[in-house]
Structure 1
Amino acid sequence: MTDDTAPEKPASGVLAPDGSAVDDFQEDEVTGEFFKPGKRLTLGHIADLLGVSTATVSLALRDSPLVAEETRLKVKKTAEDIGYIYNRSAASLRTAKSQIVGVAVHDILNPYFAEVFSALEDVLEEQGQMIFICNHRDDVKRQRAFINTLLQHRADGLILCPSVGTTTEEINRLVGQGIPVTLMCREVPGVWAPCIRGDDVTGAYAVTKHLIDQGHEKIGMIGGRRESSAGRCRHHGWRKALTDAGIDATKQLDIPELMTQSDGRKIVPEILNAKNKPTALMCFNDLVALGMMPVFRRMDVEPGPDMAITGYDDVDGAGSRTPALTTVCNHADKIGRLAALTLLRQIAGERVPNRPILIEPDLRIRESSPPQGVRLGPRLVE
């Protein structure tokens, strides 16, 4: 607990209030106060300089709307001038709120998650929340270490795109301890927490049906971690669309686990050498699809006319490639904002239903998924 009382100015030839000799003190060039070197500055120093209460100083440093803007600016400038650093840990002990929220995803390098993070960050920062972010890389031990660190910092809540291997019990344990938790993008069955995610079955079904409508009957499914809900649901949507069209899904090329552009680049030779070589590909995400396209060209297979390719997520730039990528818009901004708002409701003490909230996806039909032999986009000049 910090002491908010500034040391009294010692009189010459007498001891200071704590019994120290006058020679142990120095005069602050900014404030004119005497202090012992190494003694931490407190809210009281700022309050005395400005003639306001320590409560006003504390609120101002937290950007509270209860304090006039002019006063907030004066407090912050004075704090900067004297080198005061706000003690968030001490404040959290007084208010039971740390103003810290943890956000954990499996791939922050994926532009889709960068868009999700940007949207939720805007909402949380409007409410004065500081964000700690973890890129757990689908390593459940890494995720657990991050969550333990959050608990040590008395975080107000957690937004989690759960790692493969996350158990229902560990999420429910957090909720049972009173920690607000919101899942996003991936679901863990049976948890006592809300989940905000896209309707992956519907999206995968729509893009696969589009390829069928273009005349394709050999449609491969490329990528997706099937241990995650997103991987399972998109795979299910692909299979369902094929089955509904009378196409045997078990005879199609089906390659799981691929997630990145590097994965997409590496898998092209295997696709071209497969016995059940497809004429169209439904990729788990845009990264896998975009990774494939230049490698297909180098192997004299033109994306679109020679191999129809679709992605998922509609990341920034997907529509500006040659050919422009057909994909599923998974509404990163909506998912991010709703995840943040849902967590803030929990932090405020509201009871939020622990059921998935599905965001309806939109199919974006572009040039990369024509009927076989048809070119919709311009020929790329190399």
Structure 2
Amino acid sequence: MSRSRTTVVDIAHAAGVSKSTVSLVLQGSPLVNEKTREKVNSVIADLGYVYNRGAANLRQARSKIVGIVVNDLTNSFFAELAVGMDMVVQSAGYVQFLAHSGESVDRQREVIASMRENGIAGLILSPARGTEAADLKPLIDSGIPVVVVVRNLSGAKVSTLLSDNYTGAKAAVRHLVSLGHTRIGFMGGFLDTAVFAERLRGYRDALQEAGIAADEALIVHSAPSRAGGVAAVERMMLLADRATAALCLNDAVAFGVCDGLRTVGIEPGKGFGVIGFDDVIEAKTAVPALTTVSVDPQGMGQRAAQLLLKQINAGGNEQESLVTSVRLVVRQSCGAPVRNNHLEEMA
């Protein structure tokens, strides 16, 4: 095969790897293991491929593409976040290249590599679980602006846009305490994410402020999804002294908690107080309407896109760290106070 006609696709096919992996090898990325690197380099030598870095850099410089990678598009929060980003990106004359990592770091690396190959001008990333600062080093080293949203990434030299998780959680628990609840649960979330840690800290501090001892049995970990909310209720129902209300990690979990409560004959907002976090569009129309901490997903997406475009236009990767304010929106799902043994009577 002649040198001029050999492509990255040819190399990927011959080496039995993805096109994105070949791109990572060509870029000298540390994300590829040594065995795979050697195999790809051997094929490159055999086929006589020459990587035109200058042409690649030129494509990137002229790019009007913005990469957006989120960890869970099945959660409507991230869909609304992406809509907000697209509103700003499109009005600025850029095209949005959206991808879903599904909480897989490997998948995330693949899509980011593919985006780099297509010459993105910048990247907005809501990191998958387990993402490390080193994962973004190739992007940063190449001068591509990066904005990390929703989940903080410790040690990464990039701009960040986060919501005030601690203050929001604290306000939610204070409200439940004001209704007379003393057995307040915290439902949903992965232990190894910063969002979980920040919201849990707000929950704990609000209980302490009210003179209520935190009961570890009422902190129920589960996937941050609707199914995770159902699973959290199932686990809570096994407790002898159950909660009478709960702050949920996000609205998706809260919707699942409501589903799970109805399954055991408990009506959300009457037999159990439920508060979510995010204020997605469905929160207003849910039955009962969901009390939640409003993050304004679309507005957050717009601010993230504005921050990225600012860096693209400045031609650099100057770090900025922004925290968006939140507010508690009280609707019907938090209900009225109930006696500590009310759930036992209804179950």
TM-score bin (small chain): 0.7 to 0.9
Distance 1:239 1:373 in 2: 21
Q: How far 1:204 moved relative to its partner?
A: 0.6
Distance 1:266 1:323 in 2: 20
Question: Which of the numbers 266, 289, 292 marks the counterpart of 1:327?
Answer: 292
Partner of 1:365: 330
1:313 aligned to 2:272?
no
Q: Please tell me whether the aligned partners of residues 222 and 258 of structure 1 are also in contact (alpha carbons under 8 angstroms).
A: no
SS at the partner of 1:348?
helix
Q: Please tell me whether the aligned partners of residues 120 and 340 of structure 1 are also in contact (alpha carbons under 8 angstroms).
A: yes
Distance 1:91 1:174 in 2: 14
SS at the partner of 2:230?
helix
Q: Which has the larger helix fraction?
A: 2
Partner of 1:129: 94
Per-residue CA distance 1:69-124 (angstroms, 9 max, x = gap): xxxxxxxxxxxxxxxxxxxxx89837822211110111112111111111110111
Q: Please tell me whether the aligned partners of residues 107 and 135 of structure 1 are also in contact (alpha carbons under 8 angstroms).
A: yes
Distance 1:201 1:254, change over 3 A: same
Per-residue CA distance 1:335-362 (angstroms, 9 max, x = gap): 1111111111111125565242000001
Partner of 1:354: 319
Q: State which structure, 1 or 2, has the greater radius of gyration over its C-alpha atoms.
A: 1
Q: How far 1:370 moved relative to its partner?
A: 2.6
Aligned length: 285
1:120 aligned to 2:80?
no
Distance 2:294 2:157 in 1: 28
Percent identity (aligned): 33
Distance 2:320 2:173 in 1: 27
- RMSD, aligned CA: 2.0
Q: What are the equivalent positions in structure 2 for 1:259-338 lying under 5 Å apart?
A: 259-338=224-303
Distance 1:237 1:373 in 2: 23
Question: Which of the numbers 58, 62, 83 marks the counterpart of 1:97?
Answer: 62
Question: Which of the numbers 157, 165, 169 marks the counterpart of 1:200?
Answer: 165
Partner of 2:307: 342
Q: Please tell me whether the aligned partners of residues 201 and 234 of structure 1 are also in contact (alpha carbons under 8 angstroms).
A: yes
Partner of 2:151: 186
Residue type at the aligned position of 1:147: I
Question: Which of the numbers 239, 249, 255 marks the counterpart of 2:204?
Answer: 239
Q: Please tell me whether the aligned partners of residues 269 and 333 of structure 2 are also in contact (alpha carbons under 8 angstroms).
A: yes
1:169 aligned to 2:134?
yes
Question: Which of the numbers 160, 166, 181 marks the counterpart of 2:125?
Answer: 160
Partner of 1:230: 195
Per-residue CA distance 1:132-164 (angstroms, 9 max, x = gap): 111101111110111111121121111000111
Normalized against structure 1, the TM-score is what?
A: 0.70
SS at the partner of 1:104?
strand
Q: Please tell me whether the aligned partners of residues 126 and 150 of structure 2 are also in contact (alpha carbons under 8 angstroms).
A: yes
Distance 1:338 1:352, change over 3 A: farther
Residue type at the aligned position of 1:144: R
Q: Please tell me whether the aligned partners of residues 174 and 206 of structure 2 are also in contact (alpha carbons under 8 angstroms).
A: yes
Q: Please tell me whether the aligned partners of residues 251 and 292 of structure 2 are also in contact (alpha carbons under 8 angstroms).
A: yes
SS at the partner of 1:158?
strand
Partner of 2:186: 221
Q: How far 1:321 moved relative to its partner?
A: 2.2
SS at the partner of 1:275?
coil
1:140 aligned to 2:105?
yes
Q: Please tell me whether the aligned partners of residues 304 and 370 of structure 1 are also in contact (alpha carbons under 8 angstroms).
A: yes
Distance 2:292 2:60 in 1: 47
Partner of 2:52: none
Comparing 296-305 with 209-218, which one deviates more in the overlay?
296-305
Q: Please tell me whether the aligned partners of residues 219 and 252 of structure 1 are also in contact (alpha carbons under 8 angstroms).
A: no
Residue type at the aligned position of 1:188: L
Residue type at the aligned position of 1:207: A
Q: What are the equivalent positions in structure 2 for 1:28-67 lying under 5 Å apart?
A: none
Q: How far 1:363 moved relative to its partner?
A: 0.3
Per-residue CA distance 1:226-280 (angstroms, 9 max, x = gap): 3222111111111111111121224451112321112222332221221341011
1:253 aligned to 2:253?
no
Partner of 1:8: none
Distance 2:318 2:234 in 1: 47
Distance 2:93 2:71 in 1: 25
Distance 2:287 2:96 in 1: 37
SS at the partner of 1:340?
helix
Residue type at the aligned position of 2:66: V
1:108 aligned to 2:73?
yes
